[in-house]
């Protein structure tokens, strides 16, 4: 077992109610690194610069419920830089993920219907218990799942914010402004 690349025996981990946590560079996750743009912000984006540390913080905790169900509770937080698909600028996306993974001991149980009484609750994802499960693989799966399909700035895009438009006015460009621009050429 390499330091920084923890591997757990899932059933043993759960029976001990064990917990592990760590910080791992985002760049150490090769599958997600392939999906991400360069992890740099434009020069001068001081607002967001402090939030980017290139780290993934994670923890995993084992639990066996009174009803005999086994869980790994996974927490993942990170601030990857994504490209906004509206303005095509990089921005910091906040991942704060807390998920239970139900651990099953045989393949067939992966597909069984879940017995959850509350119809509003999503059934947790299931994983098969492994004797040597890479924790970072679970963390990376969760990271990938928590990235938006179409990344976009939360509110207005940066370029709109930077326009010298007084607060509260209609930010749509006037059609006359476009005409004026044409005339200047
Ligand atoms: Zn944007």
> pLDDT at position 126, please?
93
Name 180's Cβ contacts closer than 8 Å, sequence gap at least 6.
none
Buried b (16+ CB within 10 A) or exposed e, 110-134: eeeeeeeeeeeeeebeebebeeebe
DSSP state, 68? S
**Partners of residue 133 on adjacent β-strands:** 8
**What is the Å distance from ligand 1's center to 131 Cα?**
44
Cα radius of gyration rounded to whole Å, the chain:
22
Region of residue 165 (phi > 0: left; psi between -120 and 50: alpha; otherwise: beta): beta
- Name the residue ranges covered by the structural domains of the chain: 7-183
**What is the Å distance from ligand 1's center to 83 Cα?**
8
**What is the Å distance from ligand 1's center to 50 Cα?**
19
User: What is the C-alpha separation between 70 and 151, in angstroms, rounded?
Assistant: 34
pLDDT average, residue stretch 62-68: 94
**What is the Å distance from ligand 1's center to 157 Cα?**
4
> pLDDT at position 108, please?
85
**What is the Å distance from ligand 1's center to 87 Cα?**
4
Q: Over the stretch 29-61, which tens digit does the pLDDT of each residue have?
A: 999 998 899 998 877 776 666 678 899 999 999
**What is the Å distance from ligand 1's center to 159 Cα?**
7
Q: The pTM is what?
A: 0.78
**What is the Å distance from ligand 1's center to 155 Cα?**
8
Q: Over the stretch 71-129, which tens digit does the pLDDT of each residue have?
A: 999 999 999 999 999 999 999 999 999 999 999 999 888 887 766 556 666 788 999 99
**What is the Å distance from ligand 1's center to 76 Cα?**
25
Contact 77, 95 (CB under 8 A): yes
Query: How many CB atoms lie under 10 A from the CB of residue 164?
Result: 4
**What is the Å distance from ligand 1's center to 82 Cα?**
10
Q: Over the stretch 131-183, which tens digit does the pLDDT of each residue have?
A: 999 999 999 999 999 999 999 998 888 654 444 444 444 445 544 455 555 55
Closest CA to 76 of 96, 62, 93: 96
């Amino acid at each position: 077992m390499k330091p920084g690349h923890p591997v757990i025996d899932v059933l043993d981990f759960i029976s001990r109610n064990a917990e592990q946590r760590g910080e791992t560079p985002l760049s150490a996750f090769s599958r997600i690194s392939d999906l991400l743009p360069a992890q740099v912000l434009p020069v001068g984006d001081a607002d967001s610069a402090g939030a980017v540390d290139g780290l993934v913080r994670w923890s995993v905790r084992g639990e066996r419920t009174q009803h005999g169900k086994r869980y790994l509770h996974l927490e993942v937080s990170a601030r990857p830089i994504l490209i906004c698909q509206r303005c095509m600028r990089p921005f910091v996306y906040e991942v704060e993920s807390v998920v239970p993974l139900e651990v099953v001991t045989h393949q067939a149980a992966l597909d069984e219907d879940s017995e959850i009484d509350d119809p509003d609750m999503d059934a947790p994802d299931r994983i098969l218990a492994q004797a040597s499960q890479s924790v970072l693989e679970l963390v990376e799966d969760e990271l990938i799942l928590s990235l938006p399909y179409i990344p976009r700035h939360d509110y207005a895009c940066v370029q709109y914010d930077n326009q010298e438009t007084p607060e509260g006015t209609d930010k749509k460009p006037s059609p006359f402004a476009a005409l004026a621009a044409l005339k200047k050429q």
